Amino acid sequence: MGTDPDRPRTVPLRTEPLRTGLPPRRPRTTRTLRAYAFAAAGLLLAGCASMPDHGEIRPVQASQGVDSQVRVFGVPPADRASPQEIVDGFLEAMTSDDPQLQTARKYLTEEAAKNWKPASAVTVLSSGLDRFSVQGEKDPAAPRFKVAGKTLATVDERSAYQPETGDRRYEEFLQLTQENKEWRIATPPRGLVLSESDFQRIYMPVNKYYFAGGTLVADPVYMRQRSDPDSRMDPTTQTVKSLLAGPSKWLGPVVTSSFPTGTELREGTKSLSYDGQNTLRVPLNEKADDVAGPQCQKMATQLLYTVKDLTGSRVDRVELVRADGKSSLCQVTEATAAVIANRPLSPGHQYYVDSEGRLQWMSLDPNREEQEPSRPVPGPLSGNPPFKVSSAAIAYDEKRAAVVSDDGHGLYVVNLTTAGPMPQPLLTGKGAKPNGLTAPTWDAAGDLWIADPDPQAPALWRLPHGAGPAERVEVSGLDGGRITGLKASPDGVRMALLVERQGRKTLYIGRIERPDGKGDSSAVSVRELRPAAPQLADVTAMSWAPRGRLLVVGRESGGVVQARYMLADGSMVGAGLPGATGLEAVAASEDEKKPVVASSAEDGIVWLPPGAQWRMVAAGGRAPVYPG
C-alpha cells in the first residue's frame, strides 16, 4: 500500500508499547507498508487466492505478523480501475490507519461513503488454512462480488469480543455501480472485516470497570489503537465513552454503573487532558451535574481504574467536571479509589500440599536470599496424625480452609485459628479417585464452591458462607460435559470451569447470577458459558490473574504444554511464562507483586517472581493455591 511521497514507508507510532495492563502479545515481524495491489480480498487470510469467474487465478498474500506500532495506509482508487481492482483496493484499505478511513470511502459511491459506519461492528476472520475468495457475477453492467471466510469472532457495538465456537462462514456481496464513469461499491459490509493479524494491529484490549455489590469488576473490551474513524476520538476518550455507555451484554446482568442513565461526555469532547499533577479531567453532560458526593466518587473510581493502565503516563487522580466545563463535581485519588474499589486483600501466605498429603503454608517474600521453610497450617489439620488432603482452598481472610480428603471423597471446612478435632464432612462425593471431588474454591462473597465429576452424577455444588447444607447449582451450556476443575474470580461474578468431554478438557467462563433481594439463595446459577481459551486443544490447569485475566496451562493442537496469560473473553493468547513446559498446576494472585506459584512432577513447588527466573522452593509439593 502506498502513501503520499513525503511519508516514510514505515512509521513507528511510539518507542514503547501501549500500556494496557495486559501481557504483551507474541512478537510479530514488522513489515513495510503495502505498495502493491492484492487480488480481491486475499489480503485477509494467509495463503489465499482470488477466484474471479474469468481470467487467470492469481496467488495473494495476507497480512502477516503485523507489529501494532507500524502504521499502514491505503492506496486511493486509480483512474478507470476495473471492478475487481476496486474491490481489491477497498478490502485492503479497510485495514489501513488513515483517519476516518477516508481512503476506503473513496472506493464507495457517495451515498455509501456517507452512510458507512465502519466502527459499528467488526468481523474477525481466521488467518489459518481457510480460503477467502471473490467471484464476479456474469453481468458486466452490474458486477457483484462475493467475499467469504471463516469467522473467528465478532466485536459488537459495545466493543465486546465474542469468539465464534462453531464453523461459521462469513459471506457478503459487494454490488458495484458506475458513478461519474468510475466503478464504485454501492453495498459495503456493515462494519469492518479484518484478519486476526490486522485486528490485533488495529485494536487493543482494555478493561472497563463496573461494580458488583461493593466490588469493582473488570469488563474486557477492544478499542482502536488510534483515532476512531466514526467519533474521531483518541483511544483514552473512546474508552471513557464506552465506559459511560454501560457494560458489555454478557457482564451486564451482574454489574451496575454508578453513572446516572444518559451520562455522556460533554458535547464536542474529542480528547481528554492531564494537568501537571497527573490528574485526568473528564467533562460530563448535565445528567451528572447533581449527583451526590459518594456516588460521584464511585463514578470517578470507575474512570480511574479504566484509564490508569491504558495511558502512557501515570494517572494519579481523576476529576469529574460539570457540563459547564468549569466547576468540579468531585475528585478521587488512586489511594481513595483503592478503598472504594474493595479489591481482594493481598495474600499473606501461599499454600500447597506436601508429599505426605499435609497442607503447608509459607511466607511470601521473593526478595529473600534464603526462603523461610514452610510449615503445616495450624488447626485441626495438624492433629496427630495429620489429616491427609488431596487439594485445598483458603478463604480470603485466611482464617478457614476447605480441603478434600486424600481419597477425593469428602469436603471439610476447618478453622485455621483454633485447634480441635476434625469436623464432619460437609459434602461427600459420589465418586472417588480419579473421579473424586475437584479442588474447592471460595468466592468474594464468602461462599464455597466444588464440583463432583463422577461420570454417573456430575454436579456443581455451592455451600453458602462455607457452611452446609450444600446446594446444587444449575449450569447452563454444559451440554453433557462434566466439570473437572473450577475457580471463582476474585470479583465474585465469574466462574472459570474446566469441562471434560470425550477425554478433552476445555476452559469456559460462566457468569454467576445471584437473586439479589429475593431471599432465595438456592436460585444462584452459572449462566452463559463462553470459551475462554478457544486457541488451545486441551487445558490442564488454570488460575485467575490480575485485572480479570487468566493464567492457563494447556497446549495448542500438535504443540507442547505451556502456561500462558489469556484474556477472559477468549480473544487472544497473551505472553507465555518462560520455561514453563512441565507445569501441572498454577496459582496467581490479584496482587501483581506476588510471584506466580506452580508445581511440576520434577521440581515440586516453584516460584516465578515478577521480572525474575523460576525458583524451586519446596521439593515434592503439589496443588499450590493462593487464598480464594
Q: Quick one: 235 and 107 in the same domain?
A: no
Residue 102 lies in a domain: yes
| DSSP structure class, residue 617 | E
Same domain, 247 and 157: no
Residue 19 has pLDDT above 80, yes or no: no
- For residue 206, give the nearest of 155, 264, 269, 271 by alpha carbon: 155
Q: Is the pLDDT of residue 42 over 60?
A: no
Would you say residue 18 lies in a domain?
no
| 366 and 481 co-located in one domain | yes
From 292, 312, 341, give the residue that closes a domain. Answer: 341
Q: Is 100 contained in some domain?
A: yes
Q: Where are the beta strands (DSSP E) in 304-382?
A: 317-321, 328-333, 349-353, 359-363, 375-376
337 in the same domain as 371: no
| Residue 516 and residue 578 share a domain | yes
Residues 599/617, Cβ–Cβ less than 8 Å: no
| Preceding amide of 385 cis, omega within 30 | yes
Beta bridge partners of 145: 136, 174
Q: How far apart are CA 282 and CA 328, in angstroms?
A: 10
**pLDDT at position 74:** 79
Domain assignment present for 28: no
Q: Coil, strand or helix: which one is 495? A: strand
Helix (H) / strand (E) element for 198: namely helix 196-202
Query: Mean pLDDT lowest for which of 37-46, 98-107, 562-571, 609-618?
Result: 37-46
- Cα(322)–Cα(124) distance, rounded to whole angstroms? 39
Number of domains in the chain: 3
Does one domain contain both 413 and 312?
Answer: no
Question: Is 22 within the bounds of a domain?
Answer: no
CATH number at residue 126: 3.10.450
Residues 391 and 503 in one domain: yes
Q: Which of 112, 93, 243 is nearest to 184 (CA)?
A: 112
Relative to beta strand 389-394, strand 400-405 is: antiparallel
Half-sphere exposure of 42 (CA within 13 A, CB side): 19
Is residue 167 located within the same domain as residue 231?
no
| Residue 34 belongs to a domain | no
Residues 438 and 333 in one domain: no
Contact (Cβ atoms closer than 8 angstroms) between residue 307 and residue 240: yes
pLDDT value at residue 537:
87
Answer yes or no: do 603 and 489 share one domain. Answer: yes
Weakest-pLDDT range from 203-217, 220-234, 422-436: 220-234
Do residues 524 and 570 share a domain? Answer: yes
Taking the whole predicted model, whether its pTM rises above 0.95 is answered as no
For 538-567, what is the HEC assignment? Answer: EEEEEEEEHHHEEEEEEECCCCCCEEEEEE
pLDDT tens digits, one per residue of 167-199: 788 888 899 999 999 999 999 998 899 998 889
pLDDT in the model for residue 261: 96
Placement of cell 505426605 in the chain:
356
- Choose one of 187, 202, 217: the last residue of a domain: 202
pLDDT tens digits along 415-453: 999 989 999 999 999 876 777 999 999 998 899 999 999
Reported confidence tier of residue 18, pLDDT bands at 50, 70, 90 = very low
Element holding 563 (H helix, E strand)? strand 562-567
CB neighbours of residue 106 within 10 Å: 18
Tens digits of residue pLDDT in 64-84: 344 445 667 779 999 999 998
d(CA 20, CA 326): 30
**316 falls within a domain:** yes
* CATH at 592: 2.120.10.30
- Residue 161 included in any domain: yes
Helix (H) or strand (E) holding 112: helix 110-115
Distance of CA 445 to the CA centre of its chain: 23
* Residue 395 one-letter amino acid: A
pLDDT in tens, 561-592: 889 998 889 887 667 888 777 899 999 998 88
Note whether 238 and 374 are same-domain residues. no
End residue of a domain, out of 341, 371, 404: 341
Interhelix angle 235-245/293-307, nearest 10 degrees: 140
Q: Are 580 and 603 in contact (CB under 8 A)?
A: no
Range of the domain at 461: 349-625
